[in-house]
Amino acid sequence: MDILKKIQDHREQAEELKWEGTFAEYLELLKEQPYLAQSAHSRVYNMVKDAGVVEEHDHKKFKFFDDDIYGLDEAMEKLVEEYFHPAARRLDVRKRILLLMGPVSGGKSTLVNLLKRGLEKYSYTDRGAVFAIKGCPMHEDPLHLIPNHMREEFHEHYGIRIEGSLSPLNTMRVEKEYSGRIEDVLVERIFFSEDKRTGIGTFSPSDPKSQDIADLTGSIDFSTIAKYGSESDPRAYRFDGELNKANRGIMEFQEMLKCDEKFLWHLLSLTQEGNFKAGRFALISADELIIAHTNEAEYRSFIANKKNEALHSRMIVMPVPYNLKVSQEERIYEKMIRESDIRDVHIAPHTLRVAAMFTILTRLKDSKKASIDVLKKMRLYDGEILEGFSDVDVEELKKEFSDEGMSGIDPRYVINRISSTIIKKELTSINALDVLRSLKDGLSSHASISSDDKDRYLDFISLARKEYDEIAKKEVQKAFVYSYEESAITLMDNYLDNVEAYCNKAKLRDPLTGEELNPDERLMRSIEEQIGVSENAKKAFREEILIRISAYARKGKKFDYQSHERLREAIQKKLFADLKDVVKITTSTKTPDERQLKKINEVVATLVDEHGYNSSSANELLKYVGSLLNR
């Protein structure tokens, strides 16, 4: 990639998108593109919506969040549908501070950064274009130039509502620079940038004794007072506070509830009336989405204080819990590893999945339903199909606890333990057992884990270990069966011959003696039992297989080993059960003979080529499974 060429292309694109004209010319643009005058809330909502929406099972999935927020589709749907959407439609929620509340490392900061970076990119698109009065430090909406008495008529003609008053600085500029001719006021297209403090502001609390309210609202420029003669002259004021610079876009309050009260009270007027007090001026209008985040403990402390009732009533609290899906938790770890210096270390297949199982188990609450244990709940939440449970059952489980996912182990702990294992032992390859061992060792040094939680978490590590044992055996099973592929195909063909005879109430003919034989019930049941097909269900299962074979034949396709997932699994399990002794001997013998060594090499090669292991992790897996089978 030619990075300099990319930078040049971006610079040229930005130059092409620049626009400057008079207010009269801007009004002509609005006639054709009225969406250019959208509010900050509307712009954020359209940004999210324009990225794509997928509707499935009465839920909406917003693609905007796909690459950065994992497993929180329902929380994101609630955020968009209950805050961004109604706020974009000018309903009352736009007059509320959006407070994201959730556990540490749960994705709150990631979500806010995603919105900020998204808004920067969106301002370069036609739909996200933003225009402002040229030379205004607050990037003021040009429509504020329209006098109040003409705004109703403007709305009838353009279909656009105008909110907010012209700022003191621009009021003076219109008179002094343009002689009151608002149609001549210059307007330009602006592009949001947090780095350049255009349309995106960030406020982070620090020592209350040293932090000044000017950080939010700007301050007097004392060096210009002699020039302009008064502190109340807007030209003597620096409109460079975070609230000034965030106008038209997003204002982020980091750890909002840690802020001193004097900073929070400024938000009361801004949220409810759309303006704030700065210097010796009238209230200054601002159109910005205020988004803050905090943890649950601080939030509970905040609402317990009666003095905070006024501010609390102006908040919309959106819980951002931990992800509760194992597959999505894996994606979180993969992303964190890609962004780290341990990305070159070989991580054996299923390692991150087993770590994710442990993590998710710590976040789940025990269901009150006797038929649901925590492992079943984990599988159902991850979308696995379990016999006897439906989507309705999953929805009911999710409604059982409103605060599920607000506690437990966070992703950073897992990545820290993986990193610690690699660095301390100077490993170039790690597996699930290495990670589980490290997670266990780290519990005693985790400051926020109580002794009761520690005991629970140790139990979850044991559960995750048992799950890994089954995964490991299945992985080796697949590799061995792959090496015995011809045996698997022969076994399946034999089973299908018997099923066809059974369903058609026919006899089989012995290929050697020519004798007519009844279908081999014992063979069929030995295979079907591997996947839990009961005696009562065997007829339906066999008929389903026959229907599938007929469907393939009608389409001119051959029914083979890969054509039926459950049957393939049954064949693999049956063959592996028959080969179990071979596996035990092959993997556990210290001095394998030439035939055994050849078989080990074949299985290792299969694990490396087909399943993503390297030679080291493949050999470790074989030894471990051998020890499991010998217990």
Shared domain for 505 and 424, answered yes or no, is no
Structure tokens at 131: 């225009």
Provide the edge-to-edge strand list for the sheet that holds 200-203: 200-203, 250-253, 289-294, 97-101, 315-319
Q: Determine contact, residues 317/273, Cβ cutoff 8 Å.
A: no
Shared domain for 486 and 378, answered yes or no, is no
What is the reported pLDDT for 116?
96
DSSP E strands: which ranges in 106-214?
130-133, 186-190, 200-203
Q: Determine contact, residues 325/405, Cβ cutoff 8 Å.
A: no
CA pair distance 205, 256, nearest whole angstrom: 7
User: Can you give the CATH number for the domain in which 153 is found?
Assistant: 3.40.50.300
How many domains would you assign to the chain?
3
What is the reported pLDDT for 510?
76
Handedness of CA 380, 382, 387, 391 (dihedral sign): positive
**Quick check: is 457 in a domain?**
no
What is the reported pLDDT for 599?
77
| 467, HSE (Cβ side, Cα atoms, 13 Å) | 24
Last residue of one domain, picked from the residues 319, 351, 386:
319
HEC letters along 370-387 = CCCCHHHHHHHHCCCCCC
Last residue of one domain, picked from the residues 391, 416, 449:
449
Kindly give the parts of the chain with pLDDT less than 70.
1, 208-210, 425, 482-484, 579, 581-592, 631
Bridge partners of 516, per DSSP, are 509
| 586, HSE (Cβ side, Cα atoms, 13 Å) | 23
Shared domain for 410 and 267, answered yes or no, is no
**Quick check: is 465 in a domain?**
no
Q: Give 602's contacts (C-beta < 8 A, 6+ positions apart).
A: 483
Shared domain for 281 and 160, answered yes or no, is yes
Shared domain for 178 and 244, answered yes or no, is yes
**Quick check: is 4 in a domain?**
no
Q: Give 586's contacts (C-beta < 8 A, 6+ positions apart).
A: 592, 596, 599, 600, 603, 626
Shared domain for 260 and 348, answered yes or no, is no
What is the reported pLDDT for 269?
79
**Quick check: is 298 in a domain?**
yes
**Quick check: is 19 in a domain?**
no
Shared domain for 313 and 351, answered yes or no, is no
Shared domain for 543 and 574, answered yes or no, is yes
**Quick check: is 462 in a domain?**
no
Domain that holds residue 440: 326-449
Strand pairing class (200-203; 275-276):
unpaired
- Name the DSSP class of 315: E
CA dihedral 73, 78, 79, 85 (to 10 degrees): 120
Shared domain for 233 and 118, answered yes or no, is yes
Last residue of one domain, picked from the residues 319, 354, 370:
319
CA pair distance 131, 32, nearest whole angstrom: 15
Q: Which residue has the tokens 């006639």?
A: 31
What is the reported pLDDT for 187?
97
Integer CA distances (angstroms), 207 to 50, 211, 212, 278, 294, in order? 41, 6, 10, 22, 18
Shared domain for 359 and 257, answered yes or no, is no
What is the reported pLDDT for 484?
67
Q: Determine contact, residues 252/40, Cβ cutoff 8 Å.
A: no
Integer CA distances (angstroms), 257 to 62, 99, 264, in order? 29, 10, 8
CB neighbours of residue 152 within 10 Å:
11
SS3 60: strand
CA pair distance 599, 587, nearest whole angstrom: 10
CA pair distance 71, 361, nearest whole angstrom: 15
**Quick check: is 1 in a domain?**
no
Shared domain for 312 and 368, answered yes or no, is no
What is the reported pLDDT for 51?
95
Bridge partners of 275, per DSSP, are 285
DSSP E strands: which ranges in 513-616?
516-517
Q: At what angle do helices 615-629 and 565-588 cross, to 10 degrees?
A: 90
pLDDT digits (tens, 9 = 90+) for 164-215: 999 999 999 999 999 999 999 999 999 999 999 999 999 888 776 667 788 8
**Quick check: is 590 in a domain?**
yes
What is the reported pLDDT for 587?
65
CA pair distance 148, 67, nearest whole angstrom: 44
Shared domain for 288 and 376, answered yes or no, is no
Phi and psi at 264, nearest 5°, equal -70, -35
